[in-house]
Amino acid sequence: MKRTARILVYCLLTLTLIAPCALSQGLAETTPRSVGLSQERLDEITALMQKHVDDERIAGAVAAVARRGKVAYLESVGKRDIENNVDMSADTIFRIASMTKPITSVAALVLYDDGLIKLNDPVSKYIPEFDRPDVLVSGQIRKTIPAKRKITIKHLLTHTSGLTYHWDTQVGPLYKEAGVTHGLIQDDSVLAEKMKKLAGIPLLHQPGEKWTYGLGVDVLGRVVEVASGKTLEEFFQERIFEPLSMKDTHFFIPDDKMPRLAAAYAPKPKGGLRRLGSEPVEEGSLIYSADHPYVGRRSYFSGGGGLCSTVGDYMRFSQMLLNLGELDGKRVLKRRTVRLMTRDHVGELSENQGFGLGVSVARNAKESGGLDCVGSYGWGGFWYTTFFVDPKKQMIGVCMAQLHPEGGATLNNRFKGLVYKALRN
């Protein structure tokens, strides 16, 4: 073989080995026009992100849009660390908080596909302490009555269990007294311990009679642990992250990846941003801290809010859902299970939005702010992250920053509308 030919063969072999690794970090890229999107309209997202940075509403953000399986837009704006002058980049790691919930819901549905759990199973089958829950009598301090029915797995998935969050004025103080946390602050215990304590606290309302956003997906995470015989971290890694090549999604960030974690900020009362560090922040009964992904014992795997991830990883997770459970030849869920997950299950129990098994669902144009996105689904996170998937338009959008509270920021609220504005056909 001549030297030139040997070099060519070597290069081809090298590319063959490198390409899958490179592609595993995200989805293939394309031009907006090739998938029916307008570059000029997508540039409006960049302009909005930049204005938020210039106005000191956020430190920086990363946003991506994919259509028909390919990324047509990916932009990073601003800083991931203002104080150390580190630019935001596509590989920045973000605290995704409640965007953990769709992942935990998928984990439970993997077990559903495996035949290890059923949607109508009582939670007490896996956590016996939930066998006889009590319900608060509305308007009466700490007076309770027995629940009419048991909490089921479906109640957890649809936020109809009667569990709520710490901001609720009736139940929140009871959660705080019991030391029950939520994934937004360091907790040196484990899910098994805290979910037993949660089971002893009254429900806000009867199971199945109202939609109330709450700690049900943390309970679901414990159900996954019991049914699988693995920690939630282990189950995520084996059944979701490894098959989907989500290499940068973790409950606790490895030391070598810590430089890529975005700093978290809060708005100052008179404008500008204040960096959040290890100090706990109290909002009534809700206590949170920005250091939860990297300090302490690293043993509490909050299924409702504990993960950190990148835009690229979450795009891959979203594309798996859009593909009805499969990505790059790796199947995570059955097709019919994804369809079950992403349709409305709450009906009149929720006035403002539909909700499936772990994701919100757009039921009509009115609920969607006039957007032509009925059937789309998604969710957001405490630290100012959001995503959506539209099966009809074969489209995904993910936008991540690190901010709480949102103050005057409007990026997340306007992101989806700007993406739909970019549609050409």
pLDDT for 386-404, tens place per residue?
A: 999 999 999 999 999 999 9
Return mean pLDDT, the chain: 93
**Closest by CA position to 217, among listed 161, 179, 172:** 161
**Closest by CA position to 312, among listed 264, 368, 244, 217:** 244
> Tell me, which fold does domain 28-100+241-421 have in CATH?
Beta-lactamase (3.40.710)
Contact status, residue 312 vs residue 65, Cβ threshold 8 Å: no
Which value, in Å, is the radius of gyration of the alpha carbons in the chain? Answer: 22
Residues 6+ apart with CB under 8 A from 53: 59, 60, 61, 77, 78, 79
pLDDT for the residue 140: 73
Residues 6+ apart with CB under 8 A from 163: 151, 156, 198, 203, 204, 212, 214, 215, 216, 219
pLDDT for the residue 421: 97
> Is 50 exceeded by the pLDDT of residue 13?
no
CA distances from 375 to 209, 242, 392 (A): 24, 29, 8
More confident residue, 17 or 386: 386
> Is 50 exceeded by the pLDDT of residue 293?
yes
Which one-letter amino acid corresponds to residue 360? S
- Mean pLDDT lowest for which of 1-5, 132-136, 163-167, 215-219? 1-5
3-state secondary structure of 51: helix
More confident residue, 370 or 389: 389
Confidence of residue 67 (pLDDT cuts 50, 70, 90): very high
Q: Angle CA(242)–CA(248)–CA(249) in degrees, nearest 5?
A: 75
Contact status, residue 418 vs residue 48, Cβ threshold 8 Å: yes
Instruction: Summarize the confidence of residues 67-87 as an average pLDDT.
Output: 98
Cis peptide before 405 (omega within 30 of 0): yes
Instruction: Summarize the confidence of residues 159-182 as an average pLDDT.
Output: 95
- Residues 86-141: pLDDT tens digits? 999 999 999 999 999 999 999 999 999 999 999 999 999 999 999 999 999 986 76
Backbone angles phi, psi at 88, to 5 degrees: -65, 145
Domain spans of the chain, in order of start: 28-100+241-421, 103-236
More confident residue, 412 or 6: 412
CA distances from 233 to 120, 157, 196, 381 (A): 25, 19, 19, 19
Contact status, residue 152 vs residue 119, Cβ threshold 8 Å: yes
pLDDT for the residue 139: 65
Residues 6+ apart with CB under 8 A from 417: 369, 371
> Is 50 exceeded by the pLDDT of residue 35?
yes
- Residues 248-271: pLDDT tens digits? 999 999 999 999 999 999 999 999
Number of Cβ within 10 Å of residue 21's Cβ equals 10
pLDDT for the residue 36: 98
Q: Which CATH number fits domain 103-236: 3.40.50.2020, 3.90.79.10, 3.60.15.10, 3.40.710.10?
A: 3.40.710.10
pLDDT for the residue 17: 36
Q: Angle CA(29)–CA(30)–CA(33) in degrees, nearest 5?
A: 155
Confidence of residue 23 (pLDDT cuts 50, 70, 90): very low
Instruction: Summarize the confidence of residues 187-192 as an average pLDDT.
Output: 96
Give CA–CA dist 378/395, Å, rounded: 12
Domains 28-100+241-421 and 103-236 share a fold: yes
> Is 90 exceeded by the pLDDT of residue 288?
yes
Give percent of the chain with pLDDT exceeding 90. Answer: 90
Confidence of residue 48 (pLDDT cuts 50, 70, 90): very high
DSSP state letter for 423: B
> Is 60 exceeded by the pLDDT of residue 29?
yes
pLDDT for the residue 248: 98
Beta strands in 167-297 (DSSP E): 264-267, 273-276, 281-283, 286-288
